[in-house]
Amino acid sequence: MKDTRIQAITQWMKRVLPLLLGFMLTPVAAHATEAPKTGGTLRILVSSAAGTLDPQISYIGLTKFFETPVYDTLLTYPKFAGPNAQPVIPNLAENVPQPEDNGLTYRLTLRKGVHFSNGQLLTVADVASSFRRIFAAGSPTAGPYYSAIKGADACLKDPAHCTLAEGIETDAATNAITFHLSRPDPEFLEHLAWLHASILPASTPPHDMGNTAPPGTGPYQITDYDPTTHMRFERNPYFHEWSHDAQPAGFSDHIEVTFGLEPEASVTAVENGQADLMYENVPLDRLGEVGSKYTAQVHIFTPLLYYYATLNVNEPPFTSLKVRQALNYAVNRHAMVIYDGGSAVASPQCQLLPEGTPGYERFCAYTAGASPQNPAPEWAKPDMEKARQLVQESGTKGMRVTIVTPSGGKSDNTALDLRSILEDLGYKASVHSISPAIHFTFVQNSDNHVQISIGGWNADYPSAASFLDTLFACSNFHPHSDNSPNMSGFCDPHIDDIMHHAAQLALTDRAASNAAWAQADKALMAQAPAVPLVQTKRVVLVSKRTRNVIITLNDEILLSQLQVP
């Protein structure tokens, strides 16, 4: 069954690929000379909602896409395209602070005259409260991103009584904010720019707000949300643009989001002008169509994103290193590329850092003729003989394995292929599909005993730590919790030391830091807590009337900047 499916899609791609390459190489019509279109209603289609709207809790790319024009952080990445769209710039703060006291002190000044969407004036008290709330509400990056703040250790142990009294000093008279760290954090400025550091009113309850969006300071506010059907944005009546590069004013008066349409139907709706943007990639069987007929409406870009299978090292049979390595050897990454649209929009992924990430050095430990000790320069083909040998040595042959995957789309083909591979290796494999809205939290919780899951990971910001530390550090595994980004439950103190060393080197020697991150990537792949599959491009279709599509490495498409009549 697996071979037949791959053969059929391969033949189909031979017909489609020339058309797909055509729209990749054809210049998109420029609209920069047209007068800006302010007003109107922007219509967006999404297959399913992404759960909570709480900006300090959600860890889903879709939520970040929606909430970038709703919430603000003290610092941010520039909201324009191109290589200069980093490093961070001031946002709610007037300055990017320089580290003092050997990286233990950061001083900022809060902007004056900024209001939340409920009319409340932004103050330094809101800033201090928001950082306490990161711990009290259980943000998934409280530990990995903010534990260097003085008092954070106590907050992690007792979130309900978090004070950060020694870690955050404020002066209402001067709008001054001073962060005191217990240890240097070479990426602290980037952490201040991450969505989980959104500044909310001090009155915001210290728990997940779920379907209720707290007030923000951005140009839009979420006024209506039903995760089964729709979301609505209106302008924030109190917003004024303080920095176009940091948080530009929006163009559309209203933004309407509809949930529940399958990608196939979404493509047709956008082609017909019934909607302006579909969030999901154009489906595989429609790429040729949009490439030949709607070239000017297609936008392709490469985010720091890849897809992989997480292997739970605390659940048999993946408690065995040999089994984890066997599946890495056995997976057919050529098939995975085909499932994701072919070589024009996907490439084999054989390591845990995607191309474009600082510290990336191409290698493949699991391909024919390679090993963790002698990796190949790139993936070539599976090594089923080596994989079967490792499974035989592990003594786990015949065990039951369930693959948990988000329902719909390419994940289904990926899961079915992995099931076939596991069966070829001698396991009794099955696929359990669940709603994408709950998939991410479900597979994080160790109480659900997920053995293997399909998912993707997009960098929080351009950083090796955003992949390696967040997904595989000991400190990011939280048993019995829905907020446990280390979904494999992997913990190796030696590799943690390598990652910590790499992070500290960034303070003084960026090149040496990148080399150390590359070493961490190789060390992690030797332990195989996951099976990297593909790195993909985003293929986004917009309506004929949609203008001003701005794409950045950090924020992807800027929702607030899309223009419609």
- Residue 389: CB atoms within 10 Å: 14
In the predicted model, is pLDDT for residue 374 greater than 90?
yes
pLDDT of residue 390: 98
User: What Rg value do the Cα atoms of the chain yield, rounded?
Assistant: 23
Query: CA 92 to CA 337: how far, in whole Å?
Result: 42
Least confident of 232-241, 339-348, 357-366, 487-496: 339-348
Distances (CA, A) of 430 to 1, 85, 144, 443, 455: 15, 44, 34, 16, 17
In the predicted model, is pLDDT for residue 83 greater than 90?
no
Structure tokens at 167: 């870690």
* Structure letter (DSSP) for residue 36: P
The beta-carbon contacts of 98-104 under 8 Å, at least 24 apart in sequence, are 99/184, 99/188, 102/184, 103/181, 103/184, 103/185, 103/186, 103/188, 103/507, 104/180, 104/181, 104/182, 104/183, 104/184
Q: What is the mean pLDDT of residues 153-170?
A: 96
249-281 core/surface letters (b: 16 or more CB in 10 A; e: else): bbbbebbbbebebebeebbebbbeeebbbbbbb
Under 8 Å between Cβ of 19 and 286: no
> In this predicted model, what pLDDT tens digit does every residue of 188-229 receive, in sequence order?
999 999 999 999 999 999 999 999 999 999 999 999 999 999
> In this predicted model, what pLDDT tens digit does every residue of 391-432 receive, in sequence order?
999 999 999 999 999 987 678 889 999 999 999 999 999 999
In the predicted model, is pLDDT for residue 461 greater than 90?
no
Query: CA 280 to CA 277: how far, in whole Å?
Result: 9
- 149 DSSP β-pair partners: 181
- Residue 166: CB atoms within 10 Å: 13
Least confident of 10-14, 172-176, 231-235: 10-14
Query: CA 281 to CA 285: how far, in whole Å?
Result: 11
Which of the two residues, 465 and 437, has the higher pLDDT score?
465
Query: CA 202 to CA 208: how far, in whole Å?
Result: 15
Structure tokens at 483: 């907020």
pLDDT of residue 34: 62
Structure tokens at 544: 């004929």
* φ, ψ at 145 (rounded to 5°): -105, -25
In the predicted model, is pLDDT for residue 29 greater than 80?
no
> In this predicted model, what pLDDT tens digit does every residue of 318-368 receive, in sequence order?
999 999 999 999 999 999 998 887 888 899 999 999 998 889 999 999 999
Which of the two residues, 504 and 328, has the higher pLDDT score?
328
Confidence tier at 5 by pLDDT (50, 70, 90): very low
Smallest CA-to-CA distance from 48 within 266, 228, 236 is with 228
> In this predicted model, what pLDDT tens digit does every residue of 242-295 receive, in sequence order?
999 999 999 999 999 999 999 899 999 999 999 999 998 888 788 889 888 999
pLDDT of residue 17: 53
pLDDT of residue 14: 53
Under 8 Å between Cβ of 192 and 201: no
Query: CA 127 to CA 91: how far, in whole Å?
Result: 13
Q: Report the relative pairing of strands 277-278 and 41-46 from DSSP bridges.
A: parallel
Query: CA 193 to CA 150: how far, in whole Å?
Result: 19
On the CB side of 304, how many CA atoms lie within 13 Å of its CA?
Answer: 21
pLDDT of residue 436: 87
Q: Collapse the DSSP code of 108 into the 3-class scheme (helix H, G, I; strand E, B; otherwise coil) and give the result.
A: strand
Q: What is the mean pLDDT of residues 18-24?
A: 49
The distance in angstroms from the start CA to the end CA of the chain is 49
CATH number assigned to the domain with residue range 305-536, chosen from the 4 options 3.10.105.10, 3.40.50.10860, 3.30.420.40, 1.10.10.10: 3.10.105.10
Counting residues of the chain whose pLDDT is more than 70, the rounded percentage is 93
CATH architecture group of domain 74-197:
3-Layer(aba) Sandwich (3.40)
Amino acid sitting at position 301: F
Domains of the chain, residue spans: 74-197, 305-536
pLDDT of residue 491: 98
Max mean pLDDT range (13-22, 23-32, 166-175, 530-539): 166-175
> Checking phi first, is residue 482 left (phi over 0); if not, alpha (psi -120 to 50) or beta?
alpha
Least confident of 414-418, 506-510, 526-530: 506-510
Query: CA 403 to CA 455: how far, in whole Å?
Result: 11
pTM for this entry: 0.78
Name the residue with tokens 């049979």.
317
Mean pLDDT across the chain, nearest whole number? Answer: 91
328-361 core/surface letters (b: 16 or more CB in 10 A; e: else): bbbbbbbbbbbbbbbebbbbbbbbbbbeebbbbe
Query: CA 42 to CA 564: how far, in whole Å?
Result: 6
- 10 DSSP β-pair partners: none
